[in-house]
Structure 1
Amino acid sequence: MAIGENTRNCVVIGGGGFVGKAVVMKLLELGNWIVRIADSGTSPVSCLSDERDSLLSNAISSGRASYVQVDVRDLSQIVIAVEGSPDVFYTNAAQSYEAGFYLSHQLIVQGAKNVIEACRKCKVKRLIYCSSADVVFDGSHDIINGDESLPYPWKFQDMLSDLKAQAEALILFANDNDGLMTCSLRPSNIFGPGDRNFISFLVQQAESGWSKYIIGSGENLSDFTYVGNVAHAIISAQEALDSHSVSVAGKAFFITNNEPVKIWAFVSDILEALGYQRPIIKLPARVVSIILSLVDWMHEKSGAEKNCFESAKNLVKSASCTRTFNCSAAQKHIGYSPPISMEEGIAITIDSFTQSANGTFSTRCTDFCEQSKVDKLLGGGKVADILLWRDETKTFTCFLTLGLLYYWFCLSQRTLISSFAELLLLVAVFLCGHGNMPLNIYGFSIQRISSSYFEISENVTRDLAATMACSWNEGAHIVRLLAKGENWSTFLKVAVCLYFLKLYLSYSFSVVLGVALVFVFTSFYVYEQYEEEIDGIAKLLFVSVKKSMELIMKSLRVSFGSNLPDDLLHEQNALFGKNSEVAIQQILHDGVHSEECIGSS
């Protein structure tokens, strides 16, 4: 498209970033903008362009887009970048804790001051700043349908939110200063193609195996915003400032997809589509926060970098709280309406990440969908779900019940018969009382326990008998293998089991039972989490034992051979060869047989 008289000039500061590039592409798609891209990268190719991105490449070659390298900490560079442009879109901000406080403050707060000063000097008319919904979140309290009346919190969730709030306040305060009109947009949880924060963090956690966990109840809602909708809102804010600035200038607006979703359902959909395992294990948010704080404190005491676990702690806070926002003000004053739905945005995001991974996600999907070894061992049913802590409520209930039974029979200082008698008495009293209770008490209905509840079906009985028979046959098969003396693997397994049984029997029954109860509810869970590591250690130990046994057998063969008479050694070498185990066994057998014959005669 040729540059015409109706085209307008603008500058996108941070145009090489995640949001900045989306704004650049949206402006170029509209066709009536000449875009100057200001970014800290060394060139437009390395910072923002893609060889497949023909729109951007054609715009740069035709003059509709240009690039200038800018460091927001340098006022003179910003002045050169914004000179002659009436509109400035500011999307540049530090997004990582790796920068540290001083550098983050320089990039966010001092950068905002420099951008404001440069806009005033260059007589810029409109400055639109991309902030974040995090500026009103304190990290602990839920936000339900929050609007622009929410104040900045007394204590912010993290350092970056604090600095962004300061930058936003500076930009809003600069409104109507030397003819400059400003406004700020607060998108919530931006996602989309090219995201190096939220989606990349999920992928990293999935690669490391931490994506199995759900922090908190998993029922909390959150608002997410597709990056293309953020770009649409930023341009809509510029148009609103240009036409009816009174209701927009100096104001901040929340921007979302207007589709609050359960945060862990959203995370699960993303991970599953990328070929990773869905989160299935629930962890209490408070416990996780305490553990992370403790680990962070230990790292700090050991001289490691401070706040190295800050992003993880903030993820725990955000993932366990409800954060939804009301976009009615943005709809009313800047005409914002998300053109891309959540479903479409997720599909575009997944497609971009899948293509960038060169088809490796399908392989991961196959790997993660496969049952783990311990799940197969436990049968993959209710027992597996309980012992692998896939449902915290059921697992804790079972553990508490077994713990109470353990106390009743083993720690109550009563005999086994008296314990059974008292337990049966309690059950009988409970069932009798429950059966005589009215069907309705103060509006609460009482469910009757059917007599069939205590019956055992024929199928269950047959399955139980079949299980016992299979166990017996498996034991007989193991005994036969041990009798042959050909399977070292089975021998070692049985030996280890018998050794641990000996250790258990050396203690009292109550101690053994208590240890077994704790072991069952922890060992399977730990093994599933660290299956590869434990298998690797076991394999290393098995190979070491096997090598040791081979060396012992080799030394025994050498010692036996050295004690044989010369004529037997000559016969061995002639018939079988020097290093033949069969030869040694045959010669020894013949020698023993000869001695028996001499002794009998």
Structure 2
Amino acid sequence: MVVKTTANDVATEKRTCVVLGGRGFLGRSLVARLLQLGGWIVRVADSSSHSLLTDPSVSDSLLSNALCSGQASFCHVDVRDTSQIIIVTKGADVVFYMEPTDLDIRDFYNCYMIIVQGAKNVINACRECKVRRLVYNSSADIVFDGSRDILDGDLSFICPGKVCFLLLQSDETLWNLVTICRLLTVLYFINVPIQFKDLLIDLKFQAEGLIRLANNIDGLLTCVLRPSNVFGPGDSRFVPLLVNLAKAGLAKFITGCGENMSDFTYTENVAHAHICAAETLDSRVVSVAGKAFFITNLEPIMFWEFVSLILGGLGYQRPYIKFPTWMVSCIVSLHQCRNDKLYNYSVSPHYMLQLASRTRTFNCSAAQNHLGYSPVVSMKDGIKLTIQSFSHLANDSFYTKYGNFNEQSKAEKMLGSGIVADILLWRDERRTFACFFTLVLVYCWFFLCGRTFASSLADLLLLVIVALYGHGILSSKICGFAVQEIPSSRFKVTESEAQQAMRSIAHTWNKGVRRIKSLAKGEDWSKFFRVCTFMAILSTVSCIF
């Protein structure tokens, strides 16, 4: 006997969910994923004042059809108003609280009200409407303060905000939610060690603490996800920033050694993790409810290799020049002091610098074991889809169409692969810095001291003699440290070395004599003009100094 399923039966089987922040970068991906899976009636809630159907940027036919058929709906919700959240959450089984879409980093009060106060309002609305499950999208950034590398960090990794971390370990039933909110706010303003390099991360950490503390209050089960370095179509921060740097000619530089590893997460995998968390909240309350889970693509990659793949795919030159992190940090600090426009950045430049120069990898075994999470899109496919979605930002220049980014630059071809090239191209940072420091000392000693060249040279020789004599009379050990003796062979010149030096001097002298003879006979006019130009420049420089 075949039982036919009617449309009404299907409708009764569908569960209702609310996606707060459904028009944001991650919110869009979650909404699309829910509609693809089916079995969900999706309420898209956002602070935007107009419907998704009127948005020209939305080209997904699945979403458009769902909005027309009633499987999806849109509602304007301001998370600062609890009454608006209550209207959209009535009768919902799950609430997904994604990232806010309209934040002005220059307005601290507004950011605090949307992120922290918004989290409190969402919790209160869920409790009043008897919502069973609340899944909050946090960030792996909350455990990173830039002071050290994170290698395979797991849930035992202590956040920079130690006070809040200890509160989360305490008995939640002894704490009133309002009291905790007030305490977090007071701790923030009195500058107790809850300090982050970025304002939004600081506030998101406080919101995560509120979500976790609200678990198992009035039947509400909560879960927090911490995705690391999310990327994908619709990204409004990372990829556009890389493109802007490439257009300004700054994307060719690598900060630090360039070998630091990072975990990245494709946006569809983050959406999949949220759905896994919602599905398992009921069945595995002890291991999931009130917990936080790191989410990644499970494919750690070198940070600058990922940047190179994105920029190369969009037709821009890949980073290849390495600069020490401390030098870039000093340049950024000077730039900020001169312009005094720190709040024009959505993310602190110093925090971005730390992200680019530190190792940040996380262990997702907890999400795999307890949530049943595994990536649905690989890193290779995610990068490919991201590049395709940003094709409108691709470089259309001649160099992009016909150039080979793996070829050596003109400077590398001219300098070759010797010691001079290693120094000038920053291939060996220590040697480059040593040469630069030596040149600065020589310049100060011979040109800024006010003495003649002969007297400066005599003083330098005297200083060397005194230093050598002082080193010679030192004992073999000073305060437990051994003093190495300078072997006499360092001061000897072998006969072969002397002959080679004399041959070089004689060759240079004879070469110069031949050129002078050719100039005197008027055989080479181009050489004559080059010599005149060089002498004119040399005389001008000598007059300046």
Shorter-chain TM-score range:
0.7 to 0.9
- Quote the residue 2:135 is aligned against: 128
Shift of 1:38: 0.7
Query: Where do 1:176-575 residues align within 5 Å?
Result: 176-300=216-340, 304=341, 306=343, 308=345, 311-354=348-391, 356-357=392-393, 360=396, 364=400, 366=402, 369=405, 378=414, 382=418, 383=420, 386-389=423-426, 391-396=428-433, 399=436, 411-413=456-458, 429-430=489-490, 480=525, 497-506=534-543
Letter in 1 for 2:262: S
Distance of aligned partners of 1:371 and 1:223 in 2 relative to their CA distance in 1, 3 Å threshold: closer
Which of these residues, 98, 121, 127, is aligned with residue 105 of structure 2?
A: 98
Provide the rounded CA distance (Å) in 1 between the counterparts of 2:401 and 2:519: 34
Shift of 1:272: 1.4
Provide the rounded CA distance (Å) in 2 between the counterparts of 1:403 and 1:199: 39
Provide the rounded CA distance (Å) in 2 between the counterparts of 1:13 and 1:73: 12
- Greater CA deviation, 93-102 or 154-163? 93-102
1:410-458 deviations in Å (ceiling 9; x for gaps): 8532999xx9xxxxxx999249899xxxxxxxxxxxxxxxx99x999xx
Provide the rounded CA distance (Å) in 2 between the counterparts of 1:374 and 1:470: 28
Aligned partner of residue 66 in structure 1, secondary structure: strand
- Quote the residue 1:522 is aligned against: none
Distance of aligned partners of 1:120 and 1:43 in 2 relative to their CA distance in 1, 3 Å threshold: same
Distance of aligned partners of 1:258 and 1:361 in 2 relative to their CA distance in 1, 3 Å threshold: farther
Provide the rounded CA distance (Å) in 2 between the counterparts of 1:101 and 1:268: 34
Alignment partner of 1:56 is 2:66: no
Distance of aligned partners of 1:475 and 1:307 in 2 relative to their CA distance in 1, 3 Å threshold: farther
Provide the rounded CA distance (Å) in 2 between the counterparts of 1:289 and 1:62: 53
Provide the rounded CA distance (Å) in 2 between the counterparts of 1:471 and 1:80: 94
Distance of aligned partners of 1:358 and 1:310 in 2 relative to their CA distance in 1, 3 Å threshold: closer
Aligned partner of residue 5 in structure 1, secondary structure: helix
Query: In the alignment, is the contact (CA less than 8 A) between 2:314 and 2:393 conserved in 1?
Result: no
Shift of 1:497: 4.9
Q: What is the RMSD computed on CA atoms of the aligned residues? A: 4.2
Query: In the alignment, is the contact (CA less than 8 A) between 1:128 and 1:238 conserved in 2?
Result: yes
Distance of aligned partners of 1:66 and 1:395 in 2 relative to their CA distance in 1, 3 Å threshold: same
Aligned partner of residue 278 in structure 1, secondary structure: coil
Provide the rounded CA distance (Å) in 1 between the counterparts of 2:329 and 2:146: 12
1:2-47 deviations in Å (ceiling 9; x for gaps): 6533211111111111111111111111011111111122221355
Shift of 1:253: 0.7
- Quote the residue 2:93 is aligned against: 86
Q: Report percent identity of matched pairs.
A: 50
Query: In the alignment, is the contact (CA less than 8 A) between 2:153 and 2:362 conserved in 1?
Result: yes
Shift of 1:473: 10
Which of these residues, 163, 169, 179, is aligned with residue 209 of structure 2?
A: 169
- Quote the residue 1:138 is aligned against: 145
Letter in 2 for 1:330: A
- Quote the residue 1:18 is aligned against: 25
Distance of aligned partners of 1:415 and 1:334 in 2 relative to their CA distance in 1, 3 Å threshold: closer
Letter in 2 for 1:177: I
Shift of 1:309: 8.5
Provide the rounded CA distance (Å) in 2 between the counterparts of 1:97 and 1:359: 30
Instruction: Identify the structure with the greater helix proportion.
Output: 1
Provide the rounded CA distance (Å) in 1 between the counterparts of 2:520 and 2:293: 71
Shift of 1:336: 0.9
Which of these residues, 143, 149, 156, is aligned with residue 156 of structure 2?
A: 149
Alignment partner of 1:6 is 2:13: yes
Shift of 1:387: 2.9
Distance of aligned partners of 1:25 and 1:306 in 2 relative to their CA distance in 1, 3 Å threshold: closer
Shift of 1:469: 11
Provide the rounded CA distance (Å) in 2 between the counterparts of 1:48 and 1:76: 30
Provide the rounded CA distance (Å) in 1 between the counterparts of 2:19 and 2:384: 27
Provide the rounded CA distance (Å) in 1 between the counterparts of 2:523 and 2:42: 77
Provide the rounded CA distance (Å) in 2 between the counterparts of 1:503 and 1:371: 35
Provide the rounded CA distance (Å) in 1 between the counterparts of 2:150 and 2:323: 22
Provide the rounded CA distance (Å) in 1 between the counterparts of 2:146 and 2:348: 12
1:53-79 deviations in Å (ceiling 9; x for gaps): 111112112221111111212222211
Aligned length: 462
Query: In the alignment, is the contact (CA less than 8 A) between 1:131 and 1:164 conserved in 2?
Result: yes
Provide the rounded CA distance (Å) in 1 between the counterparts of 2:526 and 2:150: 65
1:485-532 deviations in Å (ceiling 9; x for gaps): xxxxxx9x998755422123448xxx7xxxxxxxxxxxxxxxxxxxxx
**Please, which runs of 5 or more residues in structure 2 have no aligned partner?**
1-5, 161-192, 447-452, 465-485, 502-509
TM-score by length of 1: 0.67
Query: In the alignment, is the contact (CA less than 8 A) between 1:94 and 1:107 conserved in 2?
Result: no
TM-score by length of 2: 0.73
**Please, which runs of 5 or more residues in structure 1 have no aligned partner?**
420-425, 435-450, 457-464, 484-490, 512-601
Distance of aligned partners of 1:431 and 1:474 in 2 relative to their CA distance in 1, 3 Å threshold: same
Aligned partner of residue 185 in structure 1, secondary structure: strand
Aligned partner of residue 287 in structure 1, secondary structure: helix
Query: In the alignment, is the contact (CA less than 8 A) between 2:24 and 2:101 conserved in 1?
Result: no
Provide the rounded CA distance (Å) in 1 between the counterparts of 2:338 and 2:360: 31
Which of these residues, 68, 73, 86, is aligned with residue 75 of structure 2?
A: 68
Query: In the alignment, is the contact (CA less than 8 A) between 1:276 and 1:365 conserved in 2?
Result: no
Shift of 1:475: 13
Provide the rounded CA distance (Å) in 1 between the counterparts of 2:103 and 2:352: 13
Provide the rounded CA distance (Å) in 1 between the counterparts of 2:18 and 2:515: 76
Whose relative contact order is higher, 1 or 2, with alpha carbons under 8 Å and at least 6 apart?
Answer: 2
Letter in 2 for 1:345: G
Provide the rounded CA distance (Å) in 1 between the counterparts of 2:249 and 2:514: 39
Distance of aligned partners of 1:287 and 1:395 in 2 relative to their CA distance in 1, 3 Å threshold: closer
Letter in 2 for 1:174: A
1:318-346 deviations in Å (ceiling 9; x for gaps): 11222111111111111111122212211
Query: In the alignment, is the contact (CA less than 8 A) between 1:142 and 1:322 conserved in 2?
Result: yes
Aligned partner of residue 289 in structure 2, secondary structure: coil
Query: In the alignment, is the contact (CA less than 8 A) between 2:316 and 2:395 conserved in 1?
Result: no
Distance of aligned partners of 1:325 and 1:472 in 2 relative to their CA distance in 1, 3 Å threshold: farther
1:307-326 deviations in Å (ceiling 9; x for gaps): 75952111012112221111
Distance of aligned partners of 1:88 and 1:288 in 2 relative to their CA distance in 1, 3 Å threshold: same
Shift of 1:124: 0.8
Which of these residues, 102, 114, 122, is aligned with residue 121 of structure 2?
A: 114
- Quote the residue 1:43 is aligned against: 51
Provide the rounded CA distance (Å) in 1 between the counterparts of 2:339 and 2:105: 15
Shift of 1:174: 1.0
Provide the rounded CA distance (Å) in 2 between the counterparts of 1:202 and 1:476: 58
